[in-house]
Amino acid sequence: MPLALYDSWSRTVRPFTPIHGNQVGMYCCGPTVYDHAHIGNLRTYVFEDILRRVLMHNGYAVRHVVNITDVGHLTSDADEGEDKMEKGSRRTGESAWAIAQRYTEAFVADWCALHLLEPTIWCRATDHLAEQIGFIGELERAGYVYRTSDGLYFDTSRQDDYGYLARLDRAGLQAGKRVAVGEKRSSTDFALWKFSPPDVVRQMEWDSPWGRGFPGWHIECSAMSAKYLGAWFDIHCGGEDHIAVHHSNEIAQTQAAHGTRLANFWMHGHFLTFDAHTKMSKSSGDFVRLETLQSRNIDPLAYRYLCLTAHYRSKLRFSWPSLEAAQTALNRLRHLYAGWPQGGRVDQAFAARFDAEVNDDLNLPRALAMLWELIRSGLPPATLRATVDRFDSVLGFKLNEWRPEAADVPESIRALLIAREQARAAKDWAAADRIRASLSEQGWRVEDGKDGQHLTHVPALPLDSR
């Protein structure tokens, strides 16, 4: 089945074909590094990692760009409030630059713990001021920029289709006056460059043709994505909360400067919730970090497993029992996989069915169900291992790197293993074979290598591990 993906612009699932041959350009909105990421944020990055893996699974070469927002993201989407980096600095007593470095490193550590593929390019907003200033200059020459006492703003009235991505009711927004306008001409206009207040000393500010200040949040992504992928590339990703403001504004800027909507596909992951309605967020203070899971002896890859149990376009409700169930399922999968011998061939019928599911707009819940169907199929163990290996290139559980902990081996099993080694040393092959059979009956598989015996636990197949 050819790859088909949901496009938020058209609001349809449509066939995916790269713009340039076999090459795919993919830009993903990264973190604002004023605080730790929470697991709701990380769910979006798991979805984007699966997307990249599925693209690679289909034979495409992916140029994956992820930004680090280390300046310019204000506490209000209406361009009010302070820069989140300055706020984080005041909260901790560290410099904004030190805050950015510390939380960038923490984010990358979370990224690695979830086995997310390294992006082709990490790009910091503060490393790309020239590109942002140049982009604003293009918009100014095109007549889309006006000046207020606190900065430069984009005039959304120049575009009849502004906000199409979110299907914004612009007339309703204006009539309802739900957003404070101030000196802005329209509530939907947004900041391109903010001037440093004359009575405030900022840690992050730069000179520009319009005055000393700092860039707006939206111009950062438009400028950096165009630098590394061009003004018309394949896929732009982010969380569903980016649709109404951030991504709508990215599109408006790029339409004005380059005449494109920036990306052929706009894709969005949905929220992680505590209950049916409450999303996890830093602003509420009600959030869980990956470190919190690890402190409770939950493997980060168990959270990855949990994320794959719900479609990326569906809300996923978080609970500790559901996470513990994911941990149990992952551990069962690891033990089973470790007990299968190498050297088998991929079962092509299951492989084709798996491909059809992941190519159907990343239907990972169905793909996981098929994984357990495969395991219960009765196929030879070597075939199971080879086929699951192929699946895991998309699932990303690192099954071939996992090894049982030595502490997991009961003393009675250790004693049998020692007795078998002694029998082999005495060339009592019959006794060694009897001990091997006894180990197998108790769920332990032993293999002989040049460096000694290798023991693997092979648990009974669970009735349901989904």
Q: Which long-range contacts (CB under 8 A, 24 or more apart) does 273-280 make?
A: 273/315, 273/316, 273/317, 273/318, 274/317, 274/318, 275/317, 276/317, 279/40, 280/38, 280/39, 280/40, 280/318
Query: Is residue 169 located within the same domain as residue 216?
Result: yes
Q: For residue 176, with 0-12 CB atoms within 10 Å meaning exposed, 13-18 middle and 19 or more buried, which class applies?
A: exposed
Task: For residues 198-219, give the mean pLDDT.
Answer: 90
The sign one gets for the Cα dihedral 324, 329, 333, 336 is positive
Kindly report which listed range (73-77, 217-221, 389-393, 421-425) carries the lowest average pLDDT score. Answer: 73-77
Query: Is residue 114 located within the same domain as residue 208?
Result: yes
Residue 185 contacts residue 157 (beta carbons within 8 Å): yes
Residue after which a domain boundary falls, among 353, 374, 401: 401
Query: Is residue 222 located within the same domain as residue 360?
Result: no
- Dump pLDDT digits (tens) for 3-32: 999 999 999 999 999 999 999 999 999 999
- Strand, helix or coil at 343? coil
pLDDT at 413: 87
Query: Is residue 355 located within the same domain as residue 420?
Result: no
Q: Is residue 279 part of a domain?
A: no
Chain-centre distance for alpha carbon 397: 14
pLDDT at 74: 76
Higher pLDDT, residue 283 or 299: 299
- Outline where 360-410 has alpha helix (H): 364-375, 381-395
Chain-centre distance for alpha carbon 79: 27
Tell me how many domains the chain contains: 3
pLDDT at 421: 85
Query: Is residue 34 located within the same domain as residue 77?
Result: yes
pLDDT at 89: 83
pLDDT at 274: 80
pLDDT at 121: 97
pLDDT at 462: 44
Task: For residues 308-333, give the mean pLDDT.
Answer: 95
- The answer, yes or no, to whether residue 78 has pLDDT greater than 70, is no
Angle ∠(116,235,154) on CA atoms, nearest 5: 115
What is the Cβ-side half-sphere exposure of residue 457, based on CA atoms within 13 angstroms? 18
Strands (E) across 271-427 are located at 272-273, 316-317
Start-to-end CA distance of the chain, whole Å, equals 24
Query: Is residue 262 located within the same domain as residue 298?
Result: no
pLDDT at 282: 61
Task: For residues 312-332, give the mean pLDDT.
Answer: 94
- Token pair of 302, please? 């168990």
10 Å Cβ neighbour count for 213? 22
- The answer, yes or no, to whether residue 222 has pLDDT greater than 90, is yes
Q: Is residue 275 part of a domain?
A: no
Domain encompassing residue 316: 290-401
Task: For residues 241-248, give the mean pLDDT.
Answer: 95
pLDDT at 174: 57
pTM over 0.75: yes
Query: DSSP string covering 200-268, please?
Result: ---SS-B--TT-SEEE-HHHHHHHHHHHHH-SEEEEEEEEGGGIIIIIHHHHHHHHHHHSS-EEEEEEE
Residue 41 contacts residue 33 (beta carbons within 8 Å): no
Distance between CA atoms of 122 and 425, rounded to whole angstroms? 55
Q: Is residue 122 part of a domain?
A: yes
Please give the DSSP secondary-structure letter assigned to residue 288: -
Could you tell me the pLDDT band of residue 281, with boundaries at 50, 70 and 90? low
Rg for the chain (alpha carbons), in Å?
Answer: 26
Q: Is residue 360 part of a domain?
A: yes
Q: Is residue 128 part of a domain?
A: yes
Residue 136 contacts residue 192 (beta carbons within 8 Å): yes
- Dump pLDDT digits (tens) for 99-155: 999 999 999 999 999 999 999 999 999 999 999 999 999 999 999 999 999 999 999
Distance between CA atoms of 356 and 192, rounded to whole angstroms? 43
Distance between CA atoms of 24 and 1, rounded to whole angstroms? 19
Q: Is residue 274 part of a domain?
A: no
pLDDT at 373: 96
- The answer, yes or no, to whether residue 59 has pLDDT greater than 60, is yes
pLDDT at 326: 96
Q: Is residue 278 part of a domain?
A: no
Residue after which a domain boundary falls, among 401, 422, 444: 401
pLDDT at 286: 63
- The answer, yes or no, to whether residue 275 has pLDDT greater than 70, is no
10 Å Cβ neighbour count for 55? 21
The amino acid that residue 411 corresponds to is E
- Dump pLDDT digits (tens) for 386-424: 999 999 999 999 999 998 766 568 888 888 988 998 888
pLDDT at 463: 43
Query: Is residue 91 located within the same domain as residue 220?
Result: yes
Q: Is residue 282 part of a domain?
A: no
Mean pLDDT of the chain: 90
β partners of residue 283: none
The amino acid that residue 148 corresponds to is T
The amino acid that residue 118 corresponds to is E
Residue 254 contacts residue 192 (beta carbons within 8 Å): no
List the CATH number of the domain containing 99.
3.40.50.620
How does strand 145-147 pair with strand 151-154?
antiparallel
Residue 435 contacts residue 448 (beta carbons within 8 Å): no
Return the closest-CA partner of residue 114 out of 29, 24, 38: 38
Query: Is residue 373 located within the same domain as residue 416?
Result: no
- Dump pLDDT digits (tens) for 352-373: 999 999 999 999 999 999 999 9
Query: Is residue 250 located within the same domain as residue 388?
Result: no
Distance between CA atoms of 112 and 301, rounded to whole angstroms? 10
- The answer, yes or no, to whether residue 217 has pLDDT greater than 50, is yes
Task: For residues 208-229, give the mean pLDDT.
Answer: 96
- The answer, yes or no, to whether residue 48 has pLDDT greater than 60, is yes
DSSP H or E run through 52: helix 39-57
Residue after which a domain boundary falls, among 372, 401, 430: 401
As a whole-number percent, the residues of the chain with pLDDT over 70 amount to: 90
Query: Is residue 241 located within the same domain as residue 92?
Result: yes
Query: Is residue 53 located within the same domain as residue 105?
Result: yes
* 411-425 and 429-441 helices, crossing angle to 10°: 160
pLDDT at 277: 61
Query: Is residue 351 located within the same domain as residue 445?
Result: no
